[in-house]
Structure 1
Amino acid sequence: MSKTAPTTDVHTITVQTETGQHEFEAKSGITLRQALRRHGHSPHNAVTNIANCGGRGHCGLCVVEIVKDAPPPTQALDSTLSGMGMGRLSCLVTIDHDMTVRL
């Protein structure tokens, strides 16, 4: 009988900002954008906080830098931005493990 590693439904997200480093826990399956906003860390600035697509992956305005443990992109726009070194769309990153992001 083989043993598999236990899975967890909660992951630690470390957020690096100009004011320091913050950690919070987020459930598996939600997007990084949802988790950031729920914990008071917006991937948007003052203008894009009002004018954005609401997390549907169309506007490209929720870009963050995943500095540790980035999952591979799963959608074309996210893959293109990542490939150009421009960051990742937080609305297209599904949380399934711990990671560190920079806003």
Structure 2
Amino acid sequence: MSTTAPTTDTHIITVQTEADQHKIEVEPGITLRQALRRHGHSPHNAVTDIANCGGRGHCGLCVVEIVEGAPPPTQALDSTLSGMGVGRLSCLVTVDHDMTVRL
């Protein structure tokens, strides 16, 4: 009988919405926006899902609240929004460890 050791090549993102909570497993190095969209969770609403910059960090429309595990901001717009308590731009957050986000 063999057992498989847990992989350290992925990270768990806990996604909280008004209705429920989901855990998604993602590979490291992708953006939080990519991870959310790949698993059917959008950081956008109906309008901003159509009118956005496509994850290039220019529009500021993919804001999420990182409840736990937030890495420090690396871009000016993300840092400004975070400093104002608005949230974080999911397109500018690289997944490099487990985290909890609220949409």
Whether TM exceeds 0.5 here: the answer is yes
Match of 1:59 in 2: 59
Deviation at 1:88, TM superposition (A): 0.1
Match of 1:95 in 2: 95
Cα RMSD of the aligned pairs, angstroms, is 1.0
Which structure 2 residue ranges, 5 or more long, are not aligned? 1-6
For these two proteins, the number of residue pairs brought into alignment is: 97
Specify the SS of the correspondent of 1:81.
helix
Specify the SS of the correspondent of 1:15.
strand
Give aligned-pair identity as a percent: 86
Q: Which runs of 4+ in 1 moved over 6 A?
A: none
Which structure 1 residue ranges, 5 or more long, are not aligned? 1-6
Amino acid at match of 2:12: T
Deviation at 1:18, TM superposition (A): 1.1
TM-score between both structures, scaled by the size of structure 2: 0.92
Match of 2:30 in 1: 30
CA–CA separation in structure 2 for the residues paired with 1:77 and 1:70 = 16
CA–CA separation in structure 2 for the residues paired with 1:8 and 1:32 = 18
CA–CA separation in structure 1 for the residues paired with 2:99 and 2:8 = 14
Q: State yes or no: 1:12 paired with 2:12.
A: yes
Q: State yes or no: 1:82 paired with 2:46.
A: no
Deviation at 1:9, TM superposition (A): 2.0
